[in-house]
Chains A and B, each alone.
Chain A
Amino acid sequence: MTPFKYTRASDAADAVRKGAATGVKFLGGGTNLVDLMRETIERPGELVDVSGLSTEIVETDEGGLRIGAGVRNTALAEHRRVRTAYPMLTRAMVSGASAQIRNMATVGGNLLQRTRCSYFYDEDGSRCNKRVPGEGCDAIEGFHRGHAILGASDACIAVHPSDMCVALAALDAVVHIEGAKGARTVPLVDFHCLPGDRPDIETVLEPGDLITAVELPPMPFAAASTYRKVRDRASYAFALVSVAAAIEIEDGQVRDVRIALGGVAHKPWRATRAEAALRGAPAGETAFAGAAATELAGARPLADNAFKVRLAERTIVSVLCELAGVTA
């Protein structure tokens, strides 16, 4: 690690003030940032600890939930309202990392996780446009079976590693941000960026911006939602493909639906094409398969990750069948 100064923010305003200086990073649970600092991929001159700020989960006037950015992953997973009203979120949380890491990691930090692409981590031996813009990407011609099939670019094929963010994308979550110009909100689906020619730019945050909360709007049909993660081992592994979904069925027809995918893109991937194809369609395997194929029609896999296309389609179908109570 390169030397840095450590301070604690007394409140959000204090954090925003301190965060305005060059080389400052906010510290939550540290489960990703400390590791990246040890690898010298991140070299902040100062860490401002914000893990003690906004640690509450409160019900909003509209009947949703406002989750403080400092809430630990375990606290979010076990929250009574989350478990009953948004079970896909609890399932996503407990699918991620290990219990020890979930006890440390914060909601704000989870949003800002960086990719686990091994070429991004290999500072001495590999080229990476995320680390050094313009340098090149060794993953494209390299070991990329875990990499993106949707929304990637010639500059970067990395995937976003979060499970939580996939559920948040499906739940129409909104990110609350405080910055030098005041407070603002950004829909979760617009918070992360696709790589384009600047994969080093990962979110819409400006320097000094602090995530203060994530808000979930009320979504009554999410009470029967779920999250399924497909991975190389049964536990404690990143997703090859994951699906967060909720479906509302009336008289055998899909009235409303939310689907988001993980492990397939540089950001949590909201499956808007599949959703549009399903609204008003008969709730059954045929329509689910057609919608999944519509979403994945835009996939551009590489030599070793083409299996993810069919895996994503099948996982979508299987999850929707489970929620609809029909057999796949």
Chain B
Amino acid sequence: MSITINGKAVDPPEDPRVSLLDLLRDHLALPGAKMGCNQGACGACTVLVDGERVLSCLTLAAQMEGRSVTTIEGIGSPDVLAPLQQAFVEHDGFQCGYCTPGQICSALAMVEELRRGVPSHVTGDVSSEAIAFSSEELRERMSGNLCRCGAYNGIIDAITATCRETAE
């Protein structure tokens, strides 16, 4: 069985030690997802698997057989930026840009989680069906993506500008 990556079928690696992140970067020349800590602490390697955000550094590529992976390369291109990518530019959602692919993948799935009503640590009433879209909710839900440049305010502004309607 193959792995679907940005719509294309890819054979899983022969060596099961290869992580999804290594498969993307070293085997498939898709350098968008970044290696930060390589131990699940920074979120720079975040990609989407069947629409859900996961950490590719802690995912064995072998586990991805039959699944569909989307990386930042499958979301937008330098010529045609996705709306959230454009918003990151307009709202200064980055300085060095290293964490940005992970931030964007994470945010896109986060908005779907909000829309679905998944509660968070800061949700007042976890039995509530609908979660209010707020800066506090966004900050908590994006806490798995670190930005060493500290562009958090711009990141929250970019997500708010692009995704508020989708989330509500």
Contact = CB atoms under 8 A, between A and B. Distances in A.
A104 B39 CA distance: 14
A279 B15 CA distance: 57
- Chain B: number of interface residues, binned into ranges: 35 or more
Contact of A100 (B16, B38, B106, B123): B106
B119 A77 contact: yes
Interface in B54-79: 54-55, 58-60, 62-63
Contacts of B120: 94
B118 A104 contact: no
Contacts of B126: 83, 87, 90-91, 94
Interface stretch (B3-11, B81-89, B109-117, B148-156): B109-117
B140 A235 contact: yes
B78 to A, nearest CB: 26
Interface stretch (A16-24, A27-35, A63-71, A244-252): A27-35
Contacts of B144: 97-101, 236
Nearest to A95: B121
A84 B119 CA distance: 12
A216 interface: no
A51 to B, nearest CB: 7
A83 B131 CA distance: 13
B95 interface: no
Interface in A210-266: 234-236
Nearest to A233: B143
A49 B66 CA distance: 14
Interface of A: 1, 3-6, 27, 29-31, 34-35, 38, 47, 49, 51, 74, 77-78, 83-84, 87, 90-91, 94-95, 97-101, 103-104, 234-236
Closest 5 CB pairs of A and B: A98-B144, A6-B16, A235-B143, A236-B143, A78-B118
7 contacts: A3-B15, A78-B119, A91-B121, A100-B46, A103-B54, A234-B140, A236-B143
Given A91-B126, A104-B59, 6 more contacts: A47-B60, A51-B63, A94-B126, A97-B144, A100-B46, A104-B54
